[in-house]
Amino acid sequence: MRKADEGCQMEKITPEKVVQMLKAKGMEVSLEEATSILKFLQLLADAVVSQYLGRECKEHK
């Protein structure tokens, strides 16, 4: 049986892992490009979560 918090833990993706993942799909990127990709995805994720939470708060008022 799984503990409740086990499903919530996420592994951080490193630039090296991004390079490896994209290479497996036929796309070559440098470590610098992979770092930029990760930064962009983090900004996007932050914006989506903030928008969702903001909408949720407005619905409860």
d(CA 41, CA 24) in angstroms, rounded, equals: 19
| Confidence (pLDDT) at 10 | 76
pTM, entire model: 0.71
Domain ranges in the chain are 15-59
In tens, the pLDDT along 42-53 reads 999 999 999 888
| Confidence (pLDDT) at 2 | 46
Radius of gyration of the chain from its Cα atoms, rounded to whole angstroms: 16
| Confidence (pLDDT) at 29 | 98
| Confidence (pLDDT) at 41 | 96
